[in-house]
Amino acid sequence: MTFTEIGPDVYVWRYPVLDVNISLIVGGEVAVLVDTLSSPSQATELAEAIRAVTAHPLAIVNTHHHFDHCFGNAVLAGPGVSIWAHEAAATILREDGAKLQRAWVEDYASVDPVLAQGIASATVRPPDRTFLTESIMDIGGRMVELRHFGRGHTEGDLVVAVPDALVLIAGDLVEQGAPPSFVDSFPLEWPETLAGIRQLGWIATVVPGHGSTVDMDFVQAQHDQLTELAWLIRDGHRDGAPIESVAAKSSFGREAALLAAHRAYLDLDGRLWPPRSP
Ligand SMILES: [Zn+2]
């Protein structure tokens, strides 16, 4: 398996380890690579797959700061290659990258020792080109838009819009095949962020961070599920209910909802950092 064309000169590789999606958008002069996998060896494999599709120079985009989306940066970004990300994602990797790397190695040490070893061997290379709400790239007769609609899966999620192909690359703001990951999330803001994506209006194909490509009906359904969860959490918090009883009611399943409720309770108590935006 390697890249599959999902729109005109837009390619996705659904990589088997962690079922993560890597996208490649080929313009007239430059190719945009969205996310870089988890380790140097995975990134070397990815570099080979890219060269089978295009010989253009690369511009790299990280959808957010999690290792499975950016720990191949150092291998794929040679000299003079820029890495784009939201300002918050870049700051997290710059300031806490080493600490996070150690934590992620520990997380996977017993579940997937090969992956843990790969994460450990990565050189964390933080993005060097950042933006806050919007940045437009001209890649040679083709526009690629980087947008931040607010916090959700993390503090600094971006989406990559390719309007001429009707494709949106959503990162982990949208997840197929498993519940969304709430570990670094802002559950009360996530619905609004997906509502921002929906307002783009023209999207036909959505590439989630993990799983198979989906459409806007899928995004709508996930938005509704997240909205339901946010209200369950608000009600539970107001009533002084334990997070376990809130999680039991969520359609995401207990494990995911527990994490979400934990994060959102901290938020509602003013103890989540950084605090909710005004
Ligand atoms: Zn993630």
Q: What is the spatial distance between Cα 187 and Cα 165, in angstroms, rounded to a whole number?
A: 30
> 165 CA to middle of ligand 1, Å?
25
Residues 185 and 70: their CA atoms lie apart, in Å, by: 18
**Cα of 174 from ligand 1 centre, angstroms:** 10
Q: Given this model, what pLDDT does residue 276 score?
A: 61
pLDDT category at 278 given cuts 50, 70, 90 is very low
From ligand 1's centre to the CA of 64, what distance in Å? 7
Cα of 128 from ligand 1 centre, angstroms = 20
For residue 16, the Cα-to-chain-centroid distance in whole angstroms is 17
Centre of ligand 1 from the C-alpha of residue 239, in Å: 31
The predicted pLDDT at position 80 comes to 87
Compute, in angstroms, the gap from residue 183 CA to the centroid of ligand 1: 9
Ligand 1 geometric centre to CA of 14 (Å): 15
- Tokens for 5, please give them: 């064309």
Tokens describing residue 109: 């040490």
* CA 278 / ligand 1 centre spacing (Å): 24
Mean pLDDT, residues 143-151: 98
State the DSSP code for 57.
P
Strand segments, DSSP code E, in 40-118 are: 58-61, 83-86
CA 8 to ligand 1 center in whole angstroms: 27
pLDDT at residue 273 tops 80 = no
Question: How remote is the CA of residue 209 from the centroid of ligand 1, in Å?
Answer: 7
Q: Taking the CB of residue 242, how many other CB atoms lie within 10 A of it?
A: 11
Q: Cα of 28 to ligand 1 centre, how many Å?
A: 30
Per-residue pLDDT reduced to its tens digit, 63-88: 999 999 999 999 999 888 999 999 99
Average pLDDT, the chain: 96
The single-letter code of the amino acid at 232 is: L
Q: How far apart are the CA of 122 and the centre of ligand 1, in A?
A: 17
Distance 214 CA to ligand 1 centre (A): 18
Q: How many whole angstroms from 153 Cα to the centroid of ligand 1?
A: 7
Give the tokens for residue 167: 């494709």
- CA 68 – ligand 1 centroid, Å: 7
- At which residue do the structure tokens 């939201």 appear? 86
Taking the centre of ligand 1 as the mean of its atom positions, its distance from the CA of residue 141, in whole angstroms, is 31
Q: Which amino acid is at 85?
A: A
Q: If you measure from the C-alpha of residue 86 to the centroid of ligand 1, how many angstroms do you get, rounded to a whole number?
A: 14
pLDDT above 60: residue 231: yes
Q: What is the pTM of this model?
A: 0.96
Q: What are phi and psi of 40, to 5 degrees?
A: -60, -40
Mean pLDDT of the 174-199 span: 96
Tell me how far the alpha carbon of residue 3 lies from the centroid of ligand 1, in angstroms.
21
Query: Ligand 1 mean position to 69 CA, how many Å?
Result: 7
